[in-house]
A and B are shown apart, each in its own frame.
Chain A
Amino acid sequence: MIEHKIGGEMLKVENISLSFGIMKVLDDISFDIKRGEIRSIIGPNGAGKSSMLNVINGFYHPQQGSITFKGETRKQMAPHVAASHGIARTFQNIALFKGMSTLDNIMTGRNLKMKTNLFWQALHIGPARTEELENREAAERIIDFLDIQAIRKKPVGKLPYGLQKRVELGRALAAEPELLLLDEPMAGMNSEEKEDMCRFVLDVNSEFGTTIALIEHDMAVVMDLSDRVLVLDYGKQLADGLPDEVRNNQTVIDAYLGIPHEQD
C-alpha cells in the first residue's frame, strides 16, 4: 500500500576492514544504500552490525576501505562532521541526555540547525531568540509526530524504556537527517511498542523521505520493513539482497536462521 521512491546511491561502502588489536571485527565489507530506501543489516550477535554503523557515522575508523557519502569519498570522518553532513543515529543501549527533558533532548538534536554565535547566545536576545523559537516549533512537530506530548517536560531518565527509545528517535529526527541509522530500535519492547515503532519508522521514511539503515533482530520486522537486507556473520558479508532472496539464501539459513539443510 505504501510506496516510496527509491533513488540513486547515497552511501557506498567499499572493502571496509576494521580490527581492534588482533580481533577482526569487519572483514572486507562492501555494500551501498540508495536514497529513500530502508536498508536492514542483520546477523547474529557479534556479527559486526553495530561496528558497521559506528564506521558510517565516524565513531570507528576502519584500517582499510573507503566510504562514499553523497559523492564524496573519504577514509574516515569525525562523528560531529558526519552529523553535519546529514547522518543521525540512535544507539543500541539508549544514549540519551538523561538529566534533560524530552524537549531539551530533541532541541539538542537540532544543534546543527542552529547557527547563531556565542555572543548572541550568551545574551539570549536578538537572532538567538528568534532562532530558539523557530527550532522550538520544529521540535514540537517531532513531539507531535511521535505522540510524546505528555512527556514533553519530563526528564528522560525517568521514562520507561519504550518511551526513551522513542525520544531517542525524536532527537535523531530533529537533525532532519538524510541518512538515519537505527541500532536495534525495537530491542526489549513489547509487541505493542514494537508495532508503534514500526509505524514510526515507516512514517519517517514515507513522510520525510529519510533513508534509513536499520539493525534489528526481529526477523518479521526486518522482512516487513526493509527494501534490501545485508547479512553479516563474524565480520564477513554473507549475503545482500531483497528480503525474499535473503530469506531463501541457503548460506544465510545455515549460518543464521538456523534451519538445517534439506536432505538432497
Chain B
Amino acid sequence: MEHDTALDTFPKLLHSHVKLRPDQDAIREKALGIWQSWSWAEAATEIRALACGLASLGLKRSEKLAIIGDNRPRLYWSMTAAQALGAVPVPLYQDAVADEMAYVLDNADVKIALVEDQEQVDKMLEIRDRCPKLEHIIFDDTRGLRHYEQDFLHDYEKIQQLGVEFDHDQPDFYDQEVAAGSADETSIMLYTSGTTGHPKGVMLSNNNVIITARNGIIREGLTSQEEVLAYLPMAWVGDNLFSYAQSYVAGFCVSCPEDATTVASDLREIGPTYYFAPPRVYENMLTQVMIRMEDAAKIKRDIFSYFMEHARKVGVKILNRESVSLKDSLLYKLGNILVYGPLKDVLGLRRTRLAYTAGEAIGPEIFDFYRSLGINIKQLYGQTECMVFICVQPDGEVFADTVGTPAIDVEIKIDDNGEIMYRSPGVFQSYYKNPESTASTKTEDGWVHTGDAGFFDDKNGHLKIIDRAKDVGKLNDGTLFAPKYIENKLKFFSFIKEAVVYGNERDFSTAFINIDLDAVGNWAERRNMAYSGYIDLAGQDEIYQLIKDCIDKVNQDLSQDSRLGNSQIRRFLILHKELDADDGELTRTRKVRRNFVGDRYDILVDALYSDRNQCHVETQVTFEDGRTGMLEADINIWDAAIYPVSAVTQDAAA
C-alpha cells in the first residue's frame, strides 16, 4: 500500500471509499436490538450534510469542534465533517465531570460542542459561563431535551437539515473546502491527562495520523475486510487510531456497541478480527471464564482443565508456528473443537486474527492464556504524541517482558540516563498553546522524550520498558537500578503481594516482601502447616524458602540482562505486617510509597545492608477501627542466590 499523497485528509479518504466500495458497510451501530449499518456512500451523505450544517453555524478552518459521548456513528461522522471544513475535532472523555471539561473546552478555544445526550448537555449548560468562546451545542439524542429552549442548543438532525439547504444554495462549497485540506493541517487534537498539571492538547497533523495508521496496516497486513468494535473512549488516541483512522485508511467497517453495559455481548455478535483492549479487560474476561468454570459440572471442569493444560504446553508453540509432535497437534485440534473454539466464541474472540494490548504490564499467565488458545495477542508501546505506534511485537516473536521492535518508520534511541526517545512521521506538531511543554518534550530535530526508561534486550533486540525514567537510579557500580521493574517481576508470583526493592546509590539490591496471605496460607494448609496469622506465617522458614525460590528465579531472569544483571537481589526479608494505606505505606490506589516505607523501616533497611541475620522491629499500626497499637517482631534476613551475569552479546539495536 503506497502512500497516496492525493489522499492526505480524512474527507478525501472518505471519497475514495465512496468510489471504491460505495455499498460496503462503513459503520454499524446496534440500536433497538438490531445492528443498523451505513455504507460508505450513506456515511458520506450524512457527513456532507453535517459539515454544511456546521458551516452554516459558522465553523471555519482551524476552529475547534468538541465531541463528547459514547462511541456513536454520528459522533465519528462529526469528526470527518469538521475535518472537511478544515476545522479540528477535539474529542473529550465522556465521563469527565463538568469542571474537567470546562478546562479543556476553554483551553482548546472550542466554538461548537457536539454531544451525545441530555447528560452531556446539562454539563455544557453548567460550565457555559466559564467557556465564553463556546457558541453552540448540538445534541444527538433528543430524549429529555424536548423542553430545553435555549437558542444555542440544536438538534443534530436540524443541523443536518440546515446543511442540506446550505448545500443546495452553495453546491460547490463542500467540495472546495475538502479540496483545500492539506497534509500538514491539524487533523485532530487529543488531550493527554499527564501526571501533573493540566491536560495538554496534542496537535496531530493529517500526515501524522494517516501515515502512522497506514504503517500499522502494512505491518500487520490488515485489509478492508476487518471487523472492529469501537468501545474505548473516543478521546483516547487508541480509539482514534483503531476505530477511525485505520478504518478510513484500510476501508474496514467499525461497529459501535448498543450501550456501555452491553459491550461483552456485542463483542460476541460482531466477532472482531482486529481488537484492542487494555490488560485489565483481558484479566476480567479470564476471571469471568474461571468463575463460570467453577460453577460448571465436574465432567465439564475436568475436560476444560485437561485441554487448558495441553494448550499451556503446546498452544503458544503452535501459534508461533514452531513444530510440535503429531500427537500434540492432533490433541490441540480436538481441544479446539471441544474447548478452545467454544471458549473463544464466548469471549467474542473466535475470529480475532490480531489483538493488541498496551498501557500497563500484562501478567504473563494472562498473556499466555490467550496466546495458548490461539489468539494472536501482542503488546505494543505507544504514546499520544506519535499517534500510538512506537514499538510492536512482531508475529512469532512475542515475549511477555518486551514491547517488540520499532514500528515502521520509527527511530529509537536511548539517552544517557536510560530514557527512551523516538522520532517518526507520527510525531505531533506541538502542544496547543503550550510552547514550553512542546520544547521540553520534543527536540529541535524531532526526537521525543517518552519519560520511560528502557533498553534493547540483548537476546532478541526487542525494546524493554523498565520504569518511568525519573524513578530509575543507579547502583554504586553504575548498573541501572529499576526498582519497579524488579518489583513487578516479583509480584507476578502469586505468593508475593507486595515487594519494595532498595538499591539506589548502594552496592547491591535488597527487598522487603509482603506475602499474599490467601495464596501462601492456602499453600501452607495443603502442607498441614499450622499458623496463627500473618506474622506467624511470615516468619516461618518454609515460607522463607518459598519466597527465596521466587527471588532466585527473578535473579536468574535479571542475570540474563547485561545492564540489569548486577541489580540482582542479594538479601531480602519478609515484612511482619501487610503494607497498608491507613498507615501511609500505600497510596489510596494501592501503590507502594517506596521512600516512606524506607524511612519508616530504616532499621530494617540498615540491617539488610549489614551482615546481621535477624533484626528486631517495633512498629506502630493503625487498626481498622482507627485505634493504634504496637507490633513487635524479630525478622529474619535471608540471602538469595546470585547468578553470573551474561555478557553483552550484541550492542543496542539502533
Residues of B within 8 A of A143 (CB): 32-33
CB pair A144–B32 under 8 Å, yes or no, is: yes
In chain A, positions 53-104 with a C-beta closer than 8 Å to chain B are none
Task: Verify if B3 is at the interface (C-beta below 8 Å from A).
Answer: no
CB pair B32–A137 under 8 Å, yes or no, is: yes
In chain A, positions 107-146 with a C-beta closer than 8 Å to chain B are 136-137, 140-141, 143-145
Task: Verify if A259 is at the interface (C-beta below 8 Å from B).
Answer: no
CB pair A149–B258 under 8 Å, yes or no, is: yes
If A137-B32, A143-B33, A144-B31 touch, whether A207 touches B146 (CB-CB below 8 Å) is: yes
Residues of A within 8 A of B505 (CB): none
Nearest-Cβ distance from residue B315 to partner chain A, whole angstroms: 32
Residues of B within 8 A of A136 (CB): 33
If A141-B32, A147-B259, A149-B33 touch, whether A206 touches B146 (CB-CB below 8 Å) is: yes
Pick from B33, B146, B147: contact of A152, CB under 8 Å: B33
Residues of B within 8 A of A2 (CB): 147
CB pair A140–B32 under 8 Å, yes or no, is: yes
CB pair A3–B147 under 8 Å, yes or no, is: yes
User: With the chains together, A152 CA to B261 CA distance in Å?
Assistant: 11
Pick from B143, B148, B261: contact of A203, CB under 8 Å: B143
Residues of B within 8 A of A203 (CB): 143-144
CB pair B261–A149 under 8 Å, yes or no, is: yes
Q: Provide the B322-354 mask, 1 if CB < 8 A to any CB of A, else 0.
A: 000000000000000000000000000000000
In chain A, positions 146-204 with a C-beta closer than 8 Å to chain B are 147, 149-150, 152, 199, 203
Nearest-Cβ distance from residue B361 to partner chain A, whole angstroms: 30
Task: Verify if B649 is at the interface (C-beta below 8 Å from A).
Answer: no
Q: Provide the A204-242 mask, 1 if CB < 8 A to any CB of B, else 0.
A: 001100000000000000000000000000000000000
Residues of B within 8 A of A149 (CB): 33, 258-259, 261-262
Residues of B within 8 A of A150 (CB): 259, 261-262, 265
CB pair A145–B143 under 8 Å, yes or no, is: yes
Q: Provide the B243-262 mask, 1 if CB < 8 A to any CB of A, else 0.
A: 00000000000000011011
Sorted from nearest, which 8 A-B pairs have the closest CB atoms?
A: A150-B261, A140-B32, A140-B33, A149-B259, A150-B262, A149-B258, A2-B147, A149-B262
B30 nearest in chain A by CB position:
A149
B-side interface residues toward A, CB under 8 Å? 31-34, 143-144, 146-148, 258-259, 261-262, 265
User: With the chains together, A137 CA to B31 CA distance in Å?
Assistant: 10
Nearest-Cβ distance from residue B34 to partner chain A, whole angstroms: 8
Residues of A within 8 A of B261 (CB): 147, 149-150
In chain A, positions 19-74 with a C-beta closer than 8 Å to chain B are none
User: With the chains together, A12 CA to B475 CA distance in Å?
Assistant: 87
Nearest-Cβ distance from residue B609 to partner chain A, whole angstroms: 52
Show 23 A/B contacts (Cβ-Cβ < 8 Å), sorted by A.
A1-B147, A1-B148, A2-B147, A3-B147, A137-B32, A140-B33, A140-B34, A143-B33, A144-B32, A147-B259, A147-B261, A149-B33, A149-B259, A149-B261, A149-B262, A150-B261, A150-B262, A203-B143, A203-B144, A206-B144, A206-B147, A207-B144, A207-B146
Supplied contacts A136-B33, A145-B143, 15 more A-B pairs, CB within 8 Å:
A1-B147, A137-B32, A143-B32, A149-B33, A149-B261, A149-B262, A150-B259, A150-B261, A150-B265, A152-B33, A199-B144, A203-B143, A203-B144, A207-B143, A207-B146
Residues of B within 8 A of A207 (CB): 143-144, 146
User: With the chains together, A144 CA to B261 CA distance in Å?
Assistant: 12
A103 nearest in chain B by CB position:
B33
User: With the chains together, A91 CA to B33 CA distance in Å?
Assistant: 27
A1 nearest in chain B by CB position:
B147
Residues of A within 8 A of B265 (CB): 150
Residues of A within 8 A of B143 (CB): 145, 203, 207
User: With the chains together, A100 CA to B283 CA distance in Å?
Assistant: 32
B33 nearest in chain A by CB position:
A140
User: With the chains together, A75 CA to B63 CA distance in Å?
Assistant: 68
Residues of B within 8 A of A152 (CB): 33
Residues of A within 8 A of B146 (CB): 206-207
Residues of B within 8 A of A141 (CB): 32
Nearest-Cβ distance from residue A93 to partner chain B, whole angstroms: 26
Residues of A within 8 A of B144 (CB): 199, 203, 206-207
User: With the chains together, A203 CA to B143 CA distance in Å?
Assistant: 8
Q: Which of A137, A149, A203, A207 has the most CB of B within 10 A?
A: A149
User: With the chains together, A202 CA to B147 CA distance in Å?
Assistant: 12
A203 nearest in chain B by CB position:
B144
User: With the chains together, A152 CA to B264 CA distance in Å?
Assistant: 13
Nearest-Cβ distance from residue B619 to partner chain A, whole angstroms: 39
Nearest-Cβ distance from residue B152 to partner chain A, whole angstroms: 16
Residues of A within 8 A of B32 (CB): 137, 140-141, 143-144
User: With the chains together, A213 CA to B506 CA distance in Å?
Assistant: 75
User: With the chains together, A1 CA to B31 CA distance in Å?
Assistant: 29
Q: Which of B32, B144, B148, B265 has the most CB of A within 10 A?
A: B32
User: With the chains together, A251 CA to B521 CA distance in Å?
Assistant: 64
User: With the chains together, A144 CA to B34 CA distance in Å?
Assistant: 12
B144 nearest in chain A by CB position:
A203
User: With the chains together, A141 CA to B261 CA distance in Å?
Assistant: 17
B264 nearest in chain A by CB position:
A150
Q: Which of A136, A140, A150 has the most CB of B within 10 A?
A: A150
Nearest-Cβ distance from residue A170 to partner chain B, whole angstroms: 13
Nearest-Cβ distance from residue B255 to partner chain A, whole angstroms: 15
Nearest-Cβ distance from residue A199 to partner chain B, whole angstroms: 8
A136 nearest in chain B by CB position:
B33
User: With the chains together, A203 CA to B261 CA distance in Å?
Assistant: 21
User: With the chains together, A1 CA to B33 CA distance in Å?
Assistant: 32
Nearest-Cβ distance from residue A258 to partner chain B, whole angstroms: 35
Residues of A within 8 A of B147 (CB): 1-3, 206
Nearest-Cβ distance from residue B349 to partner chain A, whole angstroms: 20
User: With the chains together, A143 CA to B146 CA distance in Å?
Assistant: 20
Nearest-Cβ distance from residue B149 to partner chain A, whole angstroms: 9
Nearest-Cβ distance from residue B292 to partner chain A, whole angstroms: 15
Nearest-Cβ distance from residue A148 to partner chain B, whole angstroms: 9
User: With the chains together, A241 CA to B31 CA distance in Å?
Assistant: 42
Nearest-Cβ distance from residue B449 to partner chain A, whole angstroms: 43
Residues of B within 8 A of A3 (CB): 147
A147 nearest in chain B by CB position:
B259
User: With the chains together, A155 CA to B146 CA distance in Å?
Assistant: 34
Residues of A within 8 A of B148 (CB): 1
Nearest-Cβ distance from residue B470 to partner chain A, whole angstroms: 40
User: With the chains together, A183 CA to B258 CA distance in Å?
Assistant: 31
Nearest-Cβ distance from residue A210 to partner chain B, whole angstroms: 14
Residues of B within 8 A of A206 (CB): 144, 146-147
